[in-house]
């Protein structure tokens, strides 16, 4: 077996270093359990009823916090399906031909039957040169994971994982339960924190745990409340963190609300249709992560989204015109609660008109 090179050693060292924030959070969580459950509830509280109520509520929040944090860390990010990867022949063409019209033609042929509506800033098909695939809508290449991640939001060092389609709901619940956890600790610890400064506590080691516990809970409550509020706003607008900083580009141009379907449907896209699962860290998001309903006003003239040149639109009560049926129908009910997709024959000339659009270029994104 060949010895490991310097590059392999560096990669292993980086993988170990990436776990440091997770270890820090885990140690902090373990200490907070000891400080609250043992030193505060059992040692310092004198009222038995208060002890029981606080311990039950605390363990419920603690369990939900740990469960959602675990799911966020260890749920693998989803990658584009094989239909978005170039075939072996297409890869050979890209490698053999000089970059230019030949590359553009290969990408044009490969993308013509895929449910993609977003483009690069120059109006080109979004292509990942490292993964050698055509990026689905809302998919981005993570430089840390070195993979294309479906509906990538960001790479979070505190969970050592990419937050995307497969675990975004878990990440939101992790923020929610960690915020409730900190607020609960701060609220129930406050009276004992005041006693610490008024010399109302016995002179034991418990008083120092109580003091630092309140400081830590209050500090994290402030930071978590702003972060959780920001992500709630993103969900209400159906945006990812990346899309909030750089709006998606469609054929008709940049549209910061291109994927927004209204507050209720935006919520359901992340949390699912069954409300009984909303507060549990179990996967219930709608769709497959590769295609998303949009509220495009202008139809993409170059995207044949139905077979045999069929072209259809669907209007909601908000008078938005949606793209025709995508490759998958797993999210089509988001567009309307009572109507289904309809297909109407369109002018055959429309399919040919798209061929006169500007040539496509390749996008390298790290």
Known catalytic residues? 156
Query: What is the C-alpha to C-alpha distance for residues 249 and 117, in angstroms, rounded to an integer?
Result: 8
Spatial neighbors of 286 by CB under 8 A, at least 6 apart, are 268, 269, 272, 273, 330, 331, 334
For the chain, the first-to-last Cα distance in angstroms comes to 32
Angle between helices 6-18 and 20-33 (to 10 degrees): 30
**CA–CA distance, 45 with 60 (Å, rounded to integer):** 19
Enumerate helices (H) and strands (E) in the chain, giving the number of each: 10, 11
DSSP reduced 3-state for 252:
coil
- Three-state DSSP class for 1? coil
Report the SS3 class of residue 250. Answer: strand
Query: Which strand (E) or helix (H) includes residue 189?
Result: helix 168-197
């Amino acid at each position: 077996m060949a010895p490991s090179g310097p590059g392999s050693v560096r990669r292993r060292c980086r993988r170990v270093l990436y776990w440091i924030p997770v270890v820090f959070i885990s140690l902090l969580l373990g200490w907070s359990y000891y400080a609250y459950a043992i030193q505060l509830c059992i040692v310092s509280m004198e009222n038995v009823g208060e002890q029981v109520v606080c311990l039950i509520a605390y363990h419920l929040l603690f369990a939900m916090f740990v469960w959602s944090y675990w799911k966020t860390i260890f749920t693998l990010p989803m990658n584009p399906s094989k239909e978005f990867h170039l075939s072996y022949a297409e890869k050979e063409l890209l490698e053999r031909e000089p970059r230019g019209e030949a590359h553009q033609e290969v990408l044009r042929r490969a993308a013509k039957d895929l449910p993609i509506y977003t483009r690069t800033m120059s109006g080109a098909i979004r292509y990942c040169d490292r993964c050698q695939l055509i990026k689905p809508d809302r998919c981005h290449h993570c430089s840390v994971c070195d993979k294309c991640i479906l509906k990538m939001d960001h790479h979070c060092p505190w969970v050592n994982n990419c937050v995307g389609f497969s675990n975004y709901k878990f990440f939101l619940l992790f923020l929610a339960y960690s915020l409730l956890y900190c607020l609960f600790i701060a609220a129930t610890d406050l009276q004992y924190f005041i006693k610490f400064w008024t010399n109302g506590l016995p002179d034991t080691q418990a008083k120092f745990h109580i003091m630092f516990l309140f400081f830590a809970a209050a500090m994290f409550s402030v930071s978590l409340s702003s972060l959780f509020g920001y992500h709630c706003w993103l969900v209400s607008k159906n945006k990812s963190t990346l899309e909030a900083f750089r709006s998606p580009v469609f054929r008709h141009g940049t549209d910061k609300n291109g994927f927004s379907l209204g507050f209720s449907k935006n919520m359901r896209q992340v949390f699912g249709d069954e409300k009984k699962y909303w507060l549990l860290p179990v996967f219930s998001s709608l769709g497959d992560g590769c295609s998303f309903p949009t509220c495009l006003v202008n139809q993409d003239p170059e995207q044949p989204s139905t077979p045999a040149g069929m072209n259809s639109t669907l209007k909601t009560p908000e008078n938005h015109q949606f793209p025709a049926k995508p490759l998958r129908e797993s999210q089509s009910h988001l567009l309307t609660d009572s109507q289904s997709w309809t297909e109407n024959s369109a002018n055959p000339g429309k399919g040919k008109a798209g061929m006169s659009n500007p040539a496509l270029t390749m996008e390298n994104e790290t």
